[in-house]
Amino acid sequence: MDNNKLITKPHYPILDGLRGVAAIIVVTFHLTEPLASGHLDIIVNHGYLAVDFFFLLSGFVIGYAYDDRWHKMTIGSFFKRRIERLQPMVILGMTLGAIGFYFTDSTLWPLIHTVPVWKMLLVMLIGYTILPVPLSLDIRGWQEMHPLNSVGWSLFFEYIANILYAVWIRKFSKTTLSVLVCVAAVALAHLAITNGDVSGGWTLNVEQVRVGITRTIYPFFAGLLLSRIAKPARIRHAFLWCSVLISIVMYMPRIGGAAHLWMNGIYESVCIIIIFPLIVYLGACGKVHTQMESRVCRFLGDISYPLYLVHYPLVYFYVAWISNHKGITIVQAWPYALAILIGAIFLAYITLKWYDEPVRNWLRKKLG
């Protein structure tokens, strides 16, 4: 949890482990994405759904950790805790993206070498705040909110959900929250079925911000609702079964193809609206039975957030390499992809121990 005082509550190690499983799937998605001819034939075709799973997990954990603390906690202290938890890795992730920026010059991004240093540093400083940069500062050319570390877009929407929770929605009754979640589910299904998927949300324009908000509101507040209504049960081998289920969901090939986009939209709607809450419920009900399982869950949970924030600066190098070697196949690329995956996990662990945990401890003392 975010604060040492919360340790008195029972912990959910399996949910930590599942967050790590989803983070690794995100990395494999980003490593196979540049090898596809388009969004219909990516090998890890639904890997981007891990973001929606993260939102649901986050809503569940936020509700569990904070719902019963508002009688002695202010909105300010809530956001202090969120900043302690989220911002150190945001700053490191943006810094790593800035360090590697000029070294990823390629045929895919031919204008990188023309970007003045002051402009890159300005984008980095804005990135530190997790506020999106305007398209006029799109120094990479991918129309991203955060050109130095693409995944920053989801943290922006995570903060929006946290603000809505703390200022307003935490006060909702279960009935009112249920109505909100149902309306958000309809909006999510409409987005998925009309577009063929929920992919998007990383560009600062009206259409993509709508996608990002729609992708955030349902899973985050469905997770919050789940934390309030879930009845405890006893599920055996929950980590194994939940890991298998989430892997099947996200490694599932595209459904329907270009001719029937709506079919894939229905699939993703079912995954986010029904299957993901089921996975979180099963994970919350499960127990770890061995020391090995406990260590695996803890390790995966510990590296999940650092891995998410540090892997994409490495992926930029990988994408640039593929761009400069046209016709690369998965057979030729997999050793490099595996090296990036292992390197990202190693970097995540190092940054966790040498940077993230010490900085969070320091911030906790400074911010009180």
Q: What is the model's pLDDT at position 115?
A: 97
Mean pLDDT of 121-147: 96
pLDDT digits (tens, 9 = 90+) for 228-254: 999 888 888 999 999 999 999 999 999
Residues 256, 205 contacting (CB under 8 angstroms): no
Q: What is the model's pLDDT at position 8?
A: 56
Q: What is the model's pLDDT at position 3?
A: 41
Crossing angle for the helix pair 49-66 and 276-285, to the nearest 10 degrees: 50
pLDDT digits (tens, 9 = 90+) for 314-361: 999 999 999 998 889 999 999 999 999 999 999 999 999 999 999 999
Q: What is the model's pLDDT at position 112?
A: 95
| Distance between CA atoms of residues 304 and 287, nearest Å | 20
Residues 200, 254 contacting (CB under 8 angstroms): no
| Distance between CA atoms of residues 259 and 304, nearest Å | 36
Q: Is the pLDDT of residue 215 over 60?
A: yes
Mean pLDDT of 67-79: 95
Number of neighbouring beta carbons within 10 Å of residue 329: 8
Q: What is the model's pLDDT at position 326?
A: 86
pLDDT digits (tens, 9 = 90+) for 182-212: 999 999 999 999 999 999 999 999 999 999 9
**pTM to 2 decimal places:** 0.95
